[in-house]
Amino acid sequence: MIAQFLTLKAEAPDCLLFFRMGDFYELFFEDAVAAAATLDIALTKRGEHDGVPIPMCGVPVHAADNYLARLIKGGHRVAIAEQVEDPAVARARPGKSIVARAITRVVTPGTLTEAGLLEPKRANWLAAIAPGPQTGLAWCDLSTGAFATRACTPDEATAELARLAPAELIAPEGWKDSPATPRPLPEFSAQKGEARLKSRFAVVTLDGFGAFTPSEIAAAGALLAYVEATAKGSIPLLSPPRPELPGSTMAIDAATRTSLELTRGPGGTRAGSLEACIDRTVTAAGARQLGADLAAPLTDAPQIAARLDLVAWFCENAVTRIRTREALAAMPDIARALGRLAVGRWTPRDLAQMRDGLALSLALKAALSAPSLTTPTLLTDTLARFGAHGSLVEALRRALVPEPPHDPGAGGSIAPGYDAALDALRETARDGRTAVLGLETRLREQTGVAALKIRHNGVLGYHIEVAARFADPLMAADSGLIHRQTLAGVVRFGSVDLAALASTIAQAGDHALAAEAAHLEELRSLILAEAAAIAETAQALARLDVASALADLAATENWSRPKVDATTAFHIESGRHPVVEAAVKAARNPFVANDCDLSADARLWLVTGPNMAGKSTFLRQNALIAVLAQAGSFVPARAAHIGVVDRLFSRVGAADDLAQGRSTFMVEMVETAAILSGATSCSLVILDEVGRGTSTYDGLAIAWAVLEAVHDDLQCRCLFATHYHELVQLKERLKSLATAHVTAREWKGDLVFLHEVKPGAADKSYGLAVARLAGVPAPVLTRARGVLARLEANRDKTGGLAAGLSDLPLFGAHPAEPATDPLRAKLAAIDPDAITPREALDLLADLKALMGEEQA
């Protein structure tokens, strides 16, 4: 057995080997050590190899999916070795022999199809990259069959991979740009890729699928080769590859995606992201489609308008929207059920899901096709994608019981009356079991043992069981019983009659299971014959779910339809940040809405104001509104007019990348450089605190130069937030620059943030006030006030910033600020409505005395 294990292990040296032994998958040697550590299960030892005990651990087959999920998340790949012959055949061979085994599948993060191993609301992309001056990308989701390609530059490829966030990326051996599964370089040949694609999709040319570049074909061919290698002959369902045209979606680089938290929140999960905040879809497929829409907003104004028309239609037809969402909520995930059926990892419940999902889709199509409804173009096109699955649904209804069992080998999936021969076999099995009960009664009468039982187990089959104290008379040769087994408390027997009945029951049961298996396979074949049409139906259902969900969001949260066209307009009235608004609403606080108008005469805003006043929120909310609008959603604003944004850039927040040897300032400069080299006049750029990571003069100089470059060279729409108030001087020299500030007020010694964006520059940054709110100790704040006063007094003098600080007393010599202000404390304790005139005079005298003490 160990020799067989080692032979199979050599076929998949980079994988943990799940070695099937009966009802368990066993792991040995280093595989067992690694798996036991990841799964936190017992590591045992059994036998020896080269004189050393063999480490061993195992997991039950029925619970394998749970353990596989944990191993995959732990960064492992798993090869599954199944028994590929009947144990009886192995036993029939002469000499000692073991059951033949073979690797039937390699499980990797990108090749998962089982529901228990996948996130329902996330696509599970497997991607391939063919590097070069013109880089080719290909990606597929084996759980749904989606397959797409794109040709791009290396920088664009990085942004596309950030959009896809693939579960697994394959690349040629030696490619070191990012973590990837290495594959042999010949697999990335465009010539071999073309031949592989033609063979897979049974075509003589790929022209019918679109215009592909050689790099796209190379990546797609390598992807398909990897799928075939891991599937081990069980090829998943894949739609023909669909090339994505450059410029068809808004370009968003990785830094911007992270900054805006489009699909992943602060912790790297879906929670806290824009996607999670606005997701009101009622199906897993709809949630996946929503995530794809947000990750790749459209740039074609007519296509955007078509999506908005459909959302608007659902907004206007509230009853239809509610009924549509109710119908969709009952839909199973037929896209992933189809994927499991195609790859052979299915159960009878997947057939039932297909039956129920397609039946519901037919009813929904009929309801939305009512002639009294005026339908938008996208709804008409979406309904046209629904397949005519009536005959398939009827066949599945006739064949299947309402709730089939999960285990196909358990029987009971095929409905009574579907197959008369199967019904007869089942009846024979039932009659045989009735006959067993009759035989049990007769044997009790013949033997006089009232406690005699006929039982069944997997080793002996049917047998007669009596307590040991009644067994002696039954051992006699003339008892008619055959001794089978003696245990501590019971003795087991057989008989000729019982053996005949057992044979009849077993044969009927086996034949019934075989007949059911054949019928289930026929039903699977019927479904796969309509696989392409079913996939189209699933995509159409997802689109309806997204549109009705966005309409529900707009109707309940007071979102408005944006106007999106091919201009460079950007006019937002009373815009709001959707994620922040949801958070403050949960705390029962109002969100302060603000306008933003980056028109031709003011396409660049210089935004000033204190920290924590809301500058970053204001910048981000306008970027998110652009994303939502071009994704086809209504937006959190009173009104919005947005010219199509071809590229979105966000330089907000401070973070280092120590793994790449980049400081916080270096990361800031890299991202700024990407903006200056990549933005166009149709782009939207938000920049926050450029230059803050270096010296004051260096930072101011960089911010000044960047602001001028955005205005003069890029000429794009931009929000530029800063604490360098010197930049306000540029308003007189840059004709398209406007100044705005986020308001704050000092009231009774406290800083109050008003969160309102108004024209003009802020008078100061209130940094010390924010520091006090953060809990900076009073002596440090007192010292800072002294330094700030001296710096401001010497601002216009020569000698530099430090010139006015040469005679400033040292920190230790500076008097500490009192922990409490007696005068303020006395004033705060006065209740004007509760004192007499005499008490007021006494208080006034006390206050004058306190003032005198402070002055002294």
pLDDT, average across residues 57-83: 93
Could you please state the CATH topology (level 3) that the domain comprising 559-741 is classified under. Rossmann fold (3.40.50)
Give the pLDDT score at 854.
Answer: 56
So where are the chain's domains?
2-107, 115-246, 279-389+530-556, 420-521, 559-741, 777-813, 822-855
| Weakest mean pLDDT among 402-406, 424-428, 684-688, 818-822 | 818-822
Q: Is CATH 3.40.50.720 the classification given to domain 420-521?
A: no
Q: Flag the least confident range among 208-217, 436-445, 559-568, 632-641.
A: 436-445
Here the tokens at position 498 are 């019982």
Radius of gyration, CA atoms only, the chain: 37
How high is the pLDDT of residue 315? 96
Q: Any binding-site annotation on 615?
A: yes
636 is in an annotated binding site: no
Judge whether 130 is annotated as a binding position: no
Rounded to 5 degrees, what are φ and ψ at 140?
Answer: -145, 160
**Residue 284: partners with Cβ closer than 8 Å, 6 or more residues away:** 120, 121, 333, 336
- Determine what percent of the chain is predicted with pLDDT higher than 90: 59
Annotated binding residue 609: yes
Residues in the chain: 856
Tokens read off for 251? 């370009």
Backbone angles phi, psi at 597, to 5 degrees: -130, 95
Query: Taking a C-beta distance cutoff of 8 angstroms, is the pair 524, 341 a contact?
Result: yes
For the residues 541-569, what does the mean pLDDT come to? Answer: 96
740 carries a ligand binding annotation: no
pLDDT tens, residue by residue, 515-526: 999 999 999 999
Which one, of 295, 247, 294, 251, lies nearest residue 647 by Cα? 251
Cα–Cα distance measured from residue 7 to residue 352, given in angstroms and rounded to the nearest whole number: 40
> How would CATH label the architecture of 2-107?
3-Layer(aba) Sandwich (3.40)
Highest mean pLDDT: which range of 55-69, 453-467, 764-778: 55-69
Instruction: For 115-246, give the CATH class.
Output: alpha beta
Quick check: helix, strand or coil at residue 448?
A: coil
Strand order in the sheet with 242-243: 181-183, 168-172, 126-130, 135-141, 146-152, 242-243
Strands 78-83 and 101-107: antiparallel
Q: Has residue 456 got a pLDDT over 90?
A: no
Alpha carbon dihedral 620, 624, 625, 628, in 10-degree steps, equals 180
What tens digit of pLDDT does each residue of 791-826 get? Answer: 777 765 554 555 555 555 555 555 555 556 677 777
Our CA angle for 688, 690, 696, nearest 5°, is: 130
Q: For residues 656-677, give the mean pLDDT.
A: 77
Mean of per-residue pLDDT scores for the chain: 88
Q: pLDDT grade, residue 372 (50/70/90)?
A: low
Predicted pLDDT of residue 849 = 75
Binding residue per annotation — 613?
yes
Query: Which of 348-352, 483-487, 645-649 has the lowest average pLDDT?
Result: 483-487
pLDDT digits (tens, 9 = 90+) for 684-709: 999 998 887 777 778 888 889 999 99
Write the single-letter amino acid at 548.
Answer: S
| Tens-digit pLDDT profile for residues 718-768 | 999 998 888 988 988 899 999 999 988 877 667 777 889 999 888 777 777
Sheet arrangement for strand 490-494: 453-457, 461-467, 490-494, 482-486
The yes-or-no verdict on residue 656 having pLDDT over 90 is no
CA neighbours closer than 13 Å in the CB half-sphere of residue 522: 12
Please tell me the distance from the alpha carbon of residue 18 to that of residue 24, in angstroms, as a whole number.
Answer: 9
Mean pLDDT of 231-252: 89
558 is in an annotated binding site: no
Phi, psi of 227 (to 5 degrees): -60, -45
Report whether pLDDT(35) > 90.
yes
- Architecture category of domain 279-389+530-556 in CATH: Orthogonal Bundle (1.10)
Instruction: Give the N- to C-terminal CA distance of the chain in Å, as an integer.
Output: 95
At 813 the pLDDT is: 52
Distance CA 719, CA 595 (A): 13
Strand ranges (E), 544-693: 563-565, 570-575, 594-597, 604-608, 639-643, 647-651, 684-688
- 264, 277 contact by CB (below 8 A): no
Residue with tokens 């067989």: 4
Residue 229: pLDDT over 70: yes
Residue 20's φ and ψ, nearest 5 degrees, are: -70, 125
At 151 the pLDDT is 94
Q: What are phi and psi of 83, to 5 degrees?
A: -75, 125
**How confident is the model at residue 234, as a pLDDT?**
77
Give the model's pLDDT for residue 810.
57
Least confident of 263-267, 543-547, 550-554: 263-267
Of all residues in the chain, the percent with pLDDT exceeding 70 is: 94
- Domain 279-389+530-556 identical in fold to domain 420-521: yes
Give residue-wise pLDDT tens across range 140-176: 999 999 999 999 999 899 999 999 999 999 999 988 7
Is pLDDT of 87 > 80?
no
Residue 803: the pLDDT is 53
Q: Is the pLDDT of residue 91 over 80?
A: no
265 is in an annotated binding site: no
